[in-house]
Amino acid sequence: MNNTKSQELYNKGLKHLVGSVNSPVRAFKSVGGNPLFIKNAKGSKIYDVDGNEYIDLVLSYGPMILGHGNQHVIDAVTKQVNEGFSFGASTENEIILAEMVCAAFPGMDKVRFVNSGTEAILSAIRLARAFTKKNKIIKFAGCYHGHSDALLVAAGSGLVTYSLPGSAGVPDSAVKDTLIAEYNNIQSVKAHIEKHNDIAAVFIEPIAGNMGVVVPTDSFIKELRQITQDAGILLVVDEVMTGFRSKFGGAQDLLGIQADITCLGKVIGGGFPVGAYGAREEIMNHVSPLGSMYQAGTLSGNPVAMAAGISTLTELKAQNPYEKFNQQAEQLEKAMLDAAATNGIDLTVNRFGSMINPFFSKKTITNFTEAQECNTAQFTKFFWGLIANGIYIPPSQFEAWFLSSVISDEDMEKLEKGLNKAMRMLVHS
């Protein structure tokens, strides 16, 4: 495979871009080699600057659920671009998208649009503290909620622990009120609640997607909802990744829970920068200009992003591709497990709706510690094997793969063959 132009652009970008990228995972550090530079995309395919074609299972890390270049979205965005890019003033489309989002999430009366998932989460932290008048928050090891200081943390020693800064530039004071629990371990949450009486909120990805796809057990997620209610602690559910991915609405409904605050992004922007946080009226009324919790943004509710979001959700509701997603994910799971078994490779596959990924491990992965124990060296070889066979996946073991509604039967055949070849390369290369 020829990657000459990608290599040239990478070298050129090193001069003025940090690591020649604008987001770390794009640097391919965990899989070795240099990043591919993408030129264009259409439907289920993405094309790099050297002309190589790939079936895209990254999908901009989730938002391109309709595939690339959906004509309905293009038409809506083009119309809005011709009318204006940004006004710094209110538009009707903000109201329309807000109505669509709130209708899809029971318990969400009002929503505030922002520009990214990170911004939605950091606003939710402030809102939870303003509403409860408490300061501490709980997050789960392996769940990623953007790069805000309070949640960019690493666990200290021990299962139940205070946080340590997870990045240079994050002071100890920024994470002193953040507590870490273990995903799928309700006792780790209870221990914090028993020890602290000033916990404002628990933050969780309903389906973890940044330690690979990890699904909560039914007992864990439902008991989490119950104990937070009993303790007067808000449950903040980060559906930036899962929102509209497994049903028209959120994973909460499929899991049988309801958040106090929900954070969204990805799909609701249709590929444009959008985030959102929403809750019942008594909580959201604390947000300025109705309340004293200040949060603002010049580009929040950007008219082009709102047009893309409305069109994406309208088309998504009309297509209703969720059963197809389940069938295709099941088919890919079987293809990977069969190929691994044939080649004597330890593999487990986790999936939920249109999110899926394999772990090179004998055991089912239920938390971040188990995810970290899998064979990442095998994943690296697998990644490059898939690239060589025209399949584009995230360059990290700990990122979810995504399906789009335009993946065809022909694509599925190519995916199965490519997965089989890449698995075989692990033992025959």
Residue with tokens 């088919």: 331
State how far the Cα of 22 lies from the Cα of 16, in Å rounded to an integer.
11
State how far the Cα of 398 lies from the Cα of 190, in Å rounded to an integer.
27
* Other beta carbons less than 10 A from residue 320's beta carbon: 11
Query: Across-strand partners of 391?
Result: 55
State how far the Cα of 397 lies from the Cα of 379, in Å rounded to an integer.
6
Active site residue 144: yes
SS3 405: coil
Provide the pLDDT for residue 151.
86
Q: Where are any strands of DSSP class E within 233-370?
A: 234-238, 261-264, 275-279, 348-352, 355-359
Exposed / middle / buried, residue 21 (Cβ in 10 Å: 0-12, 13-18, 19+): middle
State how far the Cα of 195 lies from the Cα of 206, in Å rounded to an integer.
25
State how far the Cα of 287 lies from the Cα of 399, in Å rounded to an integer.
33
Pairing of strands 38-42, 161-165: unpaired
State which fold the 4-65+321-428 domain adopts: Aspartate Aminotransferase, domain 1 (3.90.1150)
CA distances from 139 to 119, 179, 280 (A): 17, 6, 22
Provide the pLDDT for residue 148.
87
Active site residue 266: yes
Q: Where are any strands of DSSP class E within 183-336?
A: 199-204, 234-238, 261-264, 275-279
Given the residues 144, 183, 322, 392, the one annotated as active site: 144
Q: Nearest 10 degrees: CA dihedral of 316, 321, 326, 328?
A: -110
Provide the pLDDT for residue 111.
98
Pairing of strands 199-204, 234-238: parallel
Provide the pLDDT for residue 160.
39
Q: pTM (2 decimals)?
A: 0.95
Active site residue 324: no
Radius of gyration of the chain from Cα atoms? 21
Q: Tell me, what amino acid is at 229?
A: Q
Give the list of residues 6+ apart from residue 377 with CB closer than 8 angstroms, or none. none
Mean pLDDT for back-to-back runs of 10 residues, the chain (429 residues):
95 97 91 95 98 98 97 98 96 98 96 97 97 97 89 56 70 89 97 97 96 96 98 98 96 97 97 97 98 96 98 98 98 98 97 97 95 95 97 95 98 98 90
SS3 349: strand
Provide the pLDDT for residue 180.
94
The answer to whether the Cα torsion of 313, 250, 145, 324 is positive or negative is: negative
SS3 46: strand
CATH class of 71-319: alpha beta
Provide the pLDDT for residue 156.
45
* Other beta carbons less than 10 A from residue 16's beta carbon: 7
State how far the Cα of 293 lies from the Cα of 14, in Å rounded to an integer.
41
Task: Please count the helices (runs of H) and the strands (runs of E) in the chain.
Answer: 14, 16
Provide the pLDDT for residue 166.
79
Given the residues 136, 247, 266, 381, the one annotated as active site: 266
CB–CB of 86/244 below 8 Å? no
Q: Taking the domains of the chain in order of start, what are their residue ranges?
A: 4-65+321-428, 71-319
